[in-house]
Amino acid sequence: MSEASKRSVVVERTGAGRFTATNPRGGTLRFGTDGGDAFTPVELLLAAIGGCSAADVDVATGRHAEPTAFTVEVTGDKISDEQGNRMTGLRVTFHVAFPDEDGAERARAILPRAVKASHDRLCTVSRTVELGTPVTIEIAED
């Protein structure tokens, strides 16, 4: 892995069922499993899928027109079976509208291609989920 390709976060336990993820730039995101209002890890996965695709589509369409509405809904079913806990039936739905002004027709025309390009090759998060990638788990010897 080269320094240019490396991505990382550090997750720290901040209380029972509460955690904070910190990125190398100092950004933080709290999440948990304690039933509070913080995102759960599964909700973070859904947000990552939606956020990655939203960013791709926004770059492509935003060159032509500023949207009047831009929402991405990500849903799925959490199941437990002989393979363990996992998500199935993941669905990403875009709700995007553009004003009636210069460039909006071009943005509307680009939208389906941008969504498809994000899904088929650009969104690192959904591509990783769809293609599958081994996860190595280890315990550091401190």
83 and 106, same domain (yes or no): yes
The half-sphere exposure of 90 on its side-chain side, counting CA atoms within 13 A, is 17
**136 part of a folded domain:** no
**117 part of a folded domain:** yes
Sheet with 18-22: strands ordered across: 10-15, 18-22, 28-32
For tokens 């498809």, what's the residue? 116
User: Any idea what DSSP says for residue 68?
Assistant: S
> Which domain range does residue 72 map to?
40-131
User: Any idea what DSSP says for residue 77?
Assistant: E
CB 90 within 8 A of CB 78: no
Q: How many domains does the chain have?
A: 2
Distance from C-alpha of 112 to C-alpha of 95, rounded to nearest angstrom: 12
Q: Specify the pairing of strand 28-32 against strand 18-22.
A: antiparallel
Question: Residue 142: what pLDDT?
Answer: 82
Q: What angle do CA 6, 117, 115 make, to 5 degrees?
A: 110
**119 part of a folded domain:** yes
Count of beta carbons in the 10 Å neighbourhood of residue 94: 18
Kindly tell me the burial class for residue 102, based on how many C-beta atoms sit within 10 Å of its own C-beta (0-12, 13-18, 19 or more).
exposed
Question: Residue 1: what pLDDT?
Answer: 61
* φ/ψ of residue 126, rounded to 5: -70, -30
52 and 117, same domain (yes or no): yes
Average pLDDT for runs of 10 along the chain of length 142: 89 97 97 93 98 98 97 98 97 97 94 98 97 96 88
pTM: predicted TM-score of the whole model, two decimal places? 0.93
**46 part of a folded domain:** yes
Question: Residue 102: what pLDDT?
Answer: 87
